[in-house]
């Protein structure tokens, strides 16, 4: 990033760039909590102070409604320079307002659509920022993977960003439904999504109507197609002995698909008090993780698999949490760890070309 130019002028949360000389302390820095890290979120991190003339990069996450003049496609990268807020409106500058700064990116609503500035800023929603557009870099042409195979859910990401502007109350409700903040809440969230998503009640007509009302009918169609594909996958015999269920969880501002594998019961075998399951996620810092479980009576055996060795401190903390939970539930068992280049339990391995989401 280029060095700041000119005087040090922090952003005023109340109304954009404060052009008065800055005599107080700089804006308090905020560091994103890294996945797998056990440190404090207040540890050393980048400064959150913006200066006039500072150059930043942003990514267009959710473009403006179709038909908007000079519209850019999603994924366009922009090089921007922070400038003073003009006294009167001007077409030469890009004016935006902060929507969310809860993750490693800062979301800013602009006439181009929703921009993700590639810095986390301790700024409240509504803060106004003026940008000078220096460069536009077209997005790379990629095929969007369905959430059953990908580490994200692009259509749902875009839908939540669009609704944050057009239907903020609905967006807040959806984020609350998808963001568990504790172990019990996680269990409740998963049970709710299992029922709603796989009975055809989610994402629901309300979200589709809100997207259509903001001229994003195609996005609503993509989201519905994704959900239909997940429901078809759950009963697809190509996954063999395993039923595959994919559930969306919200981490910061990004949707993380959590895959739940349940062992199918064979009709010609007697019912046993045994449940075999696995949970799989893909994390930015740690890569794919798979928790393989076997539950029999009051005994639960868990194996955490990863492609590379997990940090010792993380393994110790996970073991402590697991043992505490087993004691609380009156169960016996333990958690062990395994490292492998490929997971032996891989119900989706034969579906690389089979799964397809129409866009």
64 and 116 within one domain: yes
122 and 75 within one domain: yes
287 and 171 within one domain: yes
Q: What is the pLDDT of residue 278?
A: 93
Residue where one domain finishes, among candidates 105, 137, 169: 137
- Rounded to the nearest integer, the mean pLDDT of the chain is 77
pLDDT band at 62 (very low <50, low <70, confident <90, very high): confident
In this prediction the pTM is: 0.63
Residue where one domain finishes, among candidates 137, 167, 190: 137
The mean pLDDT of 5-33, rounded to a whole number, is: 35
238 and 125 within one domain: no
Q: What is the pLDDT of residue 355?
A: 41
Say if 357 falls within a structural domain: no
Q: Is the dihedral of CA 107, 111, 113, 119 positive or negative?
A: negative
- The answer, yes or no, to whether residue 35 has pLDDT greater than 80, is no
Tokens 């089979």 label which residue? 354
- The answer, yes or no, to whether residue 9 has pLDDT greater than 50, is no
The mean pLDDT of 111-129, rounded to a whole number, is: 83
Q: What are phi and psi of 314, to 5 degrees?
A: -65, -40
Report pLDDT digits (tens) over 261-320: 999 877 665 666 788 999 998 887 888 999 999 999 899 999 999 999 999 999 999 999
Say if 310 falls within a structural domain: yes
Say if 4 falls within a structural domain: no
The mean pLDDT of 59-86, rounded to a whole number, is: 82
How far apart (Å, rounded) are the C-alpha atoms in residues 53 and 8? 9
- The answer, yes or no, to whether residue 329 has pLDDT greater than 80, is yes
**More confident of the two residues 54 and 305:** 305
- The answer, yes or no, to whether residue 129 has pLDDT greater than 70, is yes
- CB-based contact 324:212 (threshold 8 Å): no
* E-strand stretches of the chain: 11-12, 16-17, 55-63, 77-83, 94-100, 106-110, 113-117, 128-137, 242-251, 254-263, 274-283, 287-296, 299-306, 332-339
Report pLDDT digits (tens) over 196-250: 888 888 888 889 999 999 888 888 998 998 999 889 888 888 888 899 999 888 8
User: How many domains does the chain fold into?
Assistant: 2
- Give the CA count within 13 Å in the CB-facing half-sphere of 30: 14
98 and 164 within one domain: no
15 and 92 within one domain: yes
Helix (H, G, I), strand (E, B) or coil at 319: helix
The 3-state secondary structure of 11-39 reads EECCCEECCCCCCCCCCCCCCCCCCCCCC
101 and 171 within one domain: no
182 and 127 within one domain: no
Tokens 């479980």 label which residue? 293
Report pLDDT digits (tens) over 271-288: 667 889 999 988 878 889
pLDDT band at 155 (very low <50, low <70, confident <90, very high): confident
Token pair of 331 as six digits: 């169960």
- Give the CA count within 13 Å in the CB-facing half-sphere of 247: 24
- The answer, yes or no, to whether residue 74 has pLDDT greater than 70, is yes
pLDDT band at 354 (very low <50, low <70, confident <90, very high): very low
Q: What is the pLDDT of residue 271?
A: 60
Range of the domain at 61: 11-137
331 and 190 within one domain: yes
| Among candidate residues 318, 186, 192, the one with its CA nearest the CA of residue 256 | 186
170 and 130 within one domain: no
% of the chain beyond a pLDDT of 70: 75
For 358, residues 6+ apart whose C-beta sits below 8 A from its C-beta are 225
207 and 276 within one domain: yes
Q: What is the pLDDT of residue 334?
A: 92
Q: What is the pLDDT of residue 103?
A: 67
How far apart (Å, rounded) are the C-alpha atoms in residues 154 and 65? 17
115 and 170 within one domain: no
């Amino acid at each position: 990033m280029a060095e700041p130019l000119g005087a040090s002028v922090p952003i005023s949360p109340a109304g954009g760039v404060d052009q008065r000389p800055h005599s107080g302390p700089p804006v308090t820095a905020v560091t994103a909590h890294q996945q797998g890290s056990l440190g404090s979120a207040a540890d050393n991190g980048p400064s959150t102070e913006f200066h006039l003339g500072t150059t930043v990069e942003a990514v267009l996450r959710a473009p403006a409604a179709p038909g908007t003049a000079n519209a850019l496609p999603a994924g366009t990268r922009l090089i921007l320079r922070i400038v003073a807020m003009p006294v009167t409106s001007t077409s030469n500058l890009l004016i935006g307002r902060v929507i969310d700064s809860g993750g490693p990116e800062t979301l800013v609503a602009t006439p181009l659509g929703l921009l993700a500035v590639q810095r986390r800023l301790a700024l409240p929603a509504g803060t106004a920022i003026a940008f000078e557009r220096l460069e536009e870099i077209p997005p790379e042409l990629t095929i969007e993977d369905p959430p059953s195979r990908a580490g994200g859910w692009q259509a749902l990401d875009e839908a939540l960003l669009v609704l944050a502007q057009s239907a903020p109350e609905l967006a807040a409700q959806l984020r609350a439904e998808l963001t568990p903040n504790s172990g019990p809440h996680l269990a409740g969230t998963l049970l709710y999504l299992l029922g709603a998503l796989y009975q055809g009640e989610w994402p629901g007509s309300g979200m589709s109507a809100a997207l259509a009302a903001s001229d994003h009918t195609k996005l609503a169609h993509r989201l519905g197609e994704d959900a239909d594909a997940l429901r078809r996958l759950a009963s697809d015999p190509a996954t063999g002995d395993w039923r595959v269920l994919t559930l969306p969880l919200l981490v910061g501002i990004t949707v993380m698909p959590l895959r739940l594998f349940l062992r199918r019961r064979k009709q010609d075998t007697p019912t046993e008090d045994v449940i075999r399951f696995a949970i799989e996620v893909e994390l930015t810092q740690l890569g794919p993780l798979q928790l393989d479980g076997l539950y029999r009576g009051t005994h639960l055996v868990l194996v955490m698999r990863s492609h590379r060795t997990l940090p010792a401190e993380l393994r110790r903390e996970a073991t402590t949490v697991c043992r505490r939970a087993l004691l609380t539930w009156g169960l016996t068992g333990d958690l062990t760890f395994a490292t492998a280049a490929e997971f032996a339990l891989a119900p989706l391995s034969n579906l690389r070309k089979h799964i397809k989401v129409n866009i």
